[in-house]
Structure formats: structure tokens, C-alpha cells
Amino acid sequence: MEYDYANFPDDCWKLIFDRLREDRWDLESISLVSKQFLSLSNRFKLSLSVSNKVLSLLPQLLRRFHHIKNIDIDIHNCTDLDELICQFSGSGINLEALAISCPSSPPRVGFRALGLTMKNLKVLDCSKLVYVLDSDLILIANLFPGLEEICINAYNDDESGVNEEVLTNVTDDGVEFLASKLKELKKIDLRGKFCISDGSLVLLSLNCVKLREIHLCIYGHHLTEKGIDFVMQHCHNLTSLSLSLFPSNLDNNHAFTVGSSETYSNSFTFDNSIMKNLHTLSLVDGISVKFLYSMAKAHPPLKKLKIKSRRLVILLQACQLTLQELTLLNPYLTDSCWCVTDEGIGEILKSCPVLTHLKIFWLGVSNVFERYSEHSIVNLKSLEACGTKINDEAMANIGNRCPCLRYLDISYCKGVTNNGVMEVVRNCKRIREINLNRCENVSANILPQMMFSRPSLKKITPPCGFDRVN
């Protein structure tokens, strides 16, 4: 039976294209087939990145892609961010997420214009703004009370020559006002200098009952583990917690302390019912051993864990059956880390049966699959081994043991050559992206051979001196 595809209903094509939305390469190819497909694919353009290259075309893009929901502003030396954001407010699009990825002072005029028309704004990412004040947090909370996700960076430009005490003024007042206004808040991400105390955490926990994700990478604060404990006890919907806390001084009343397991094993009382929803945990700095032991006893069903390698053993046994993504950080930022070995990483892979994403940045490991038997298979889909001592032998083992691998990052790996790269390309039939940045012994001449040998490759970050291939 033959179908008249020329008269195939748009709604049916829409269902087909909807399956391709996650892969932008497939969607871009579809748009070249016909004018009908171009028109239909325009409806699926939901995100727009505003860079210097497209800035002059922005009015046309906003008219063409009127279903845009997410906009990321990434412009170098942006002279008038207010004017740019005002273009969005008058374009007729129904914006749901806005990310400002360029250093600039808060666009207060633009925010006010946006608040008049964008009533459905759910996500606001201000992680690159500078000179943020309490008054800016108050302005945002009043203009966008329906926000579900917010990211604020209290950062000052050190080259401005302006008195830092004048510029930095994010305190409990600003954060507590956010907590009182944003009743729908599900995610909060604070970075930079925040002069806040446990009171801010208490109000966030009590007022934002839908809060699921808390990310704190801050300094100059006056937080204590009592505040973190309050969050854990009262945020019953919490699924993700990320803490990198640098105290304002060395006062023992504020600074987090580290001690032995015997001293701290019973200091906190987390139970499984409190942490039953916690799937993502990132503990970089500011958390003591006593806190880790208490969390481990509750056996949280972690799927993602990011932690300094020397503290891994405390939590790993508690979540090894659920862990899907593991990030290990070198606590010493040196060429090697004494507490992580090839054998240790290998044992982690064997003990975590559902682990698919492994990130081992700047660790002194070289061949984590060396002890695997010849026919052993590892279910890794993503391996990020930036700055490790991986060599060609290790690359051959990766190719043989990781048939499901889709993403590989071996940037800054000086021991890898062309031969090692081709071992992975030939054997990992699903590989889609490889990062070779700063691989000094890999030649850019290998790039065509990689593309022809493995059609699944969509993106290659080449060694020094060449543009990305995709």
C-alpha cells in the first residue's frame, strides 16, 4: 500500500519530529528536505543562544522561531544588556528560561521590561553577573514570583578598582526575601561571596516547600553544620545537594571542622526516610567527616556522587547499588593522588553495577581496566579522564572493555598518541564525541581518519591550534 506523503497531516509529522528533538543534528537535517519540513522544524526550535555572531540577526530569529522558550545570552563585551533583554520582552515569545552567560552588572531596566510581559518565566540564571546586591534579589523576587529555578553569582570584578565592600552586599536580607516570595522555587544555586547565616537556610527550608535542589558554592558566609542539618531534616523533597563552603574566617564557631569517625559517628541522626529522595550529592569543601558518616548510615539512594577521592570510601558502600555517575576530585591538585590507584578505580567499577558515567579529573591513574579479564565488559557510556596518565595501552583497553562508550574526554593526557585514539575509534562503535584538547602527542592529521572510520562521531575537540570538528 502506497502513502501520499505529500498530504501527510502536519500533526503526524509533528509526532515523528518530536522523537528526533533530542538530537539536534537529526532535526537540522530534516529542515533541509523541503519547505514544509523547514516550517515544521521551526516549531521545534525551543532554545536560542545569543552570541556575537547572531546578534545582528536577533530580530529576524525572534520572528522566525516564535516558539522559543529558552534563551542563553553569551556575548563578549556586551555594551547594553538592558536594551538586548528589552527586545525579548517585545518579541511576543513566551519565555520560560533565561540565562545570562556574559559578565555584566544586573540589567535592572531589562528585568523590569521582561517582568511586564514574561509571566511564565520559570528559570533565571544570573551566574555570570557581577556587582549583584540585595536590592537585585528583591527586584527579581517581586518581578518573577513564579520562578522555579534561580542561580545567583555574587561576584565582583577585581579589575574595576571599586571598593569591594561597596560592591558586595548580598546578605541574609536578600536571600530571605527570595525565600519569602518564591513559593514555587524548586532549585536555588548561589555562588560567590554571600554574607549569609543559618537563618537563610532555615527560611528556605520552611518557606520553599517544593525545594528539590540546593547548590552552594560560596565564601564569606557564616553557615554552620547546624544549618545544613536543618535543611536535611526539613526539605523532604530534596533530591540534589551540592556544597562547597569556604568560611569567612577561622573562627571555630563558624568554620567546619574535620575529625575522626570515633568522635563524630553519632553527632547527626539522619535516617533513610529523611534522605529517601536524595539522588545527587556533591561535597567538595566545608563538610566534615562526621557529616559524611551520618549520611552514609542513612543509605541515601544516590545516583550521582561528586566528592574528593580521599573521602569516597565513607559513602561508596552506602550507595554502590544505585550509583550511576561518579566524579572523583584530586584533593591536592597535584600530578598524582596517592589515595586513588588503577586497582581502586577498577574495584569501584566492579562494585557499582549500574555505573555508566565516570569522571576522574587529574588523578594519577593510567590504566584502570588493566586487571579486567580479556572478555570483561564495562557498561560505561561516558568517561572523562582529563589530566590523567592514560596511555595507548589504556586506550586499547578502553576500546576493548567499553563497547557502549559514547563520550570520551582525554584532554591534557600526554601519554596518548594517534595509535591509542584509533584503538577507541575502531572498537567503540557508538562513540559520538571525543575531546583531545591539549593531547600533545596526538596529531591533527588524524581527524579525517577518525571521521571516516567511525560515522557515529558527531564532535571532535582537536589538539591545540585547530577549531572544533563537528
Domains of the chain: 366-470 (3.80.10.10)
What is the Cα 400 distance to its own chain's centre? 29
CA–CA distance, 383 with 386 (Å, rounded to integer): 9
> What integer is the mean pLDDT of 434-445?
95
- Nearest Cα residue to 369 out of 400, 396, 397: 397
Rounded distance between C-alpha atoms, residue 420 and residue 410, angstroms: 11
> What is the arithmetic mean of pLDDT over 152-174?
67
DSSP notation for 105-164: ---HHHHHHHHHH-TT--EEEETTBBS-BHHHHHHHHHH-TT-SEEEEEEB--TTS-S-H
pLDDT of residue 34: 67
User: Residue 421's pLDDT is what?
Assistant: 98
Q: Specify the amino acid at residue 127.
A: S
Percentage of residues in the chain having pLDDT higher than 70? 79
Q: Percentages helix, strand, coil for the chain, rounded to the nearest 5?
A: 35, 20, 45
Provide the pLDDT confidence category of residue 124 given band limits of 50, 70 and 90: very high
**pLDDT reading at 251 higher than 60:** no
Considering only 54-63, 163-172, 390-399, 457-466, which range has the smallest mean pLDDT? Answer: 163-172
Q: What is the pLDDT of residues 320-340, one digit of tens each?
A: 999 999 999 876 554 444 457
Q: Taking residues 153-170, what's their average pLDDT?
A: 59
**Does residue 407 sit in helix, strand or coil?**
strand
Cell numbers representing residue 59 in the block: 530580530
pLDDT recorded at residue 466: 58
Give yes or no for a contact between 154 and 130, defined as CB atoms under 8 angstroms apart. Answer: no
Query: Residue 460 gets which letter from DSSP?
Result: E
Q: Over 90: is that where the pLDDT of 4 sits?
A: no
Distance CA 169, CA 273 (A): 38
pLDDT at 151 over 80: yes
Per-residue confidence (pLDDT) for residue 38, from 0 to 100:
64
Region 185-200 average pLDDT: 95
Buried b (16+ CB within 10 A) or exposed e, 377-411: ebbbbbbbbbbbbbbbebbbbbbbbbeebbbbbbb
Which one-letter DSSP state was computed for residue 195?
B
Residue 240 per-residue DSSP state? E
What pLDDT sits at residue 5? 57
> What is the distance between the alpha carbons of residues 52 and 48, in angstroms, rounded to a whole number?
13
* Confidence at residue 26, expressed as pLDDT on a 0 to 100 scale: 55
Write down the residue that cell numbers 555594551 correspond to.
79
pLDDT at 97 over 60: yes
pLDDT at 160 (0 to 100):
40
- Given a cut of 90, is residue 90 above it in pLDDT? no
Residue 392 and residue 421: Cα distance in Å, rounded?
A: 8
Task: Report how far apart, in Å, the C-alpha atoms of 109 and of each of 82, 112, 135 are.
Answer: 6, 5, 13
Give the mean model confidence (pLDDT) for residues 427-446: 95
Q: How much is the average pLDDT of 197-206?
A: 96
Q: What is the pLDDT of residue 22?
A: 54
pLDDT band at 258 (very low <50, low <70, confident <90, very high): very low
More confident residue, 414 or 13: 414
Distances (CA, A) of 45 to 26, 225, 349, 362: 13, 44, 39, 37
What was the pLDDT predicted at 27?
57
Return the pLDDT at 21.
Answer: 58
Alpha-carbon gap, residue 143 to 161, rounded angstroms = 31
Question: What pLDDT, on the 0 to 100 scale, is given for residue 294?
Answer: 86
Q: 361-411, pLDDT tens digit by residue?
A: 898 899 998 888 777 889 999 999 999 999 999 999 999 999 999 999 999
pLDDT at 150 over 90: yes
Position 464 confidence tier, pLDDT thresholds 50, 70, 90: confident
- For the ranges 37-46, 160-169, 375-384, 432-441, the maximum mean pLDDT occurs at 432-441
If pLDDT is split at 50, 70 and 90, which confidence band does 266 have? Answer: very low
Query: Which of 119-123, 150-154, 216-220, 464-468 is the least confident region?
Result: 464-468
- What is the pLDDT confidence band of residue 252, given thresholds at 50, 70 and 90? very low
Q: What pLDDT does 32 receive?
A: 62
Quote the pLDDT of residue 293: 86
Which stretch of DSSP H or E encloses residue 215?
A: strand 213-221
Instruction: Give the predicted TM-score (pTM) of the model.
Output: 0.83
